[in-house]
Amino acid sequence: MWLVAVSVVAMTAFTIAWVAGFGDQNVPDNTYRTTPAAFQQQVDEFTQKYLGDDGKVHVPPGEDAYLMAQRYGFTPELVLEAGNEYTIWMSSRDVLHGFSLIGDNLNLNLEIVPEHALALTLKAEKAGTYLVICNEYCGLQHHLMRGHIIVEE
């Protein structure tokens, strides 16, 4: 029994030390309550301000970005500059959605909750198109829910 207790204490201490010292975790720590209508208004104002001729939203470095999840997509499509850090605010219009960003060795996996906005800090180093998928079942066409974040040089 003492061996089990010592092992549990040692593994707990190792995990805490690893996360504190080596884990580059990107957990959202900035959230607030909102309504879908109020957040949609922020998304619309942000989109109008930075909408490009290509139909995508080009976010200047240092500016916060806004992203709405709803059945069955993410809007707007964001264009970021490589090597710059961005804060992306997200919320859901309808039900619980997942946000999984794939690309450039990033492994981000979040839940987007209605009536709450959360901030994700993102710094993509490489140019490319990053796939965003919903990984929380949100309805019959959940498997089609995709989006993209484009990173340019």
Which tens digits make up the pLDDT trace of 6-59? 999 988 888 777 666 655 555 566 899 999 999 999 999 999 999 999 999 999
Q: Which fold has domain 26-152?
A: Immunoglobulin-like (2.60.40)
pLDDT of residue 115: 95
- Retrieve residue 101's tokens: 């960003």
> Is residue 105 scored above 80 in pLDDT?
no
Domain ranges of the chain: 26-152
Give, as one character, the DSSP assignment of residue 31.
E
Residue whose tokens read 């040089």: 153
Residue 98 pLDDT > 60, yes or no?
yes
With contact defined as beta carbons under 8 Å apart, do 78 and 68 qualify?
Answer: no
**In angstroms, how far apart are the furthest CA atoms of the chain?**
68
Half-sphere exposure of residue 94: CA atoms within 13 angstroms, side-chain side: 10
Tokens of 108: 């981000």
Q: What mean pLDDT value characterizes the chain? A: 90
Give the C-alpha distances (Å, rounded to integers) separating 62 from 35, 80, 86, 112.
25, 11, 6, 23
The 3-class SS string of 49-95 reads HHECCCCCEECCCCCCEEEEEECCEEECCEEEECCCEEEEEEEECCC
- pLDDT for 147 equals 93
Percent of the chain whose predicted confidence (pLDDT) is above 70:
92
In the predicted structure, residue 104 carries a pLDDT above the cut 70: yes
Structure letter (DSSP) for residue 20: H
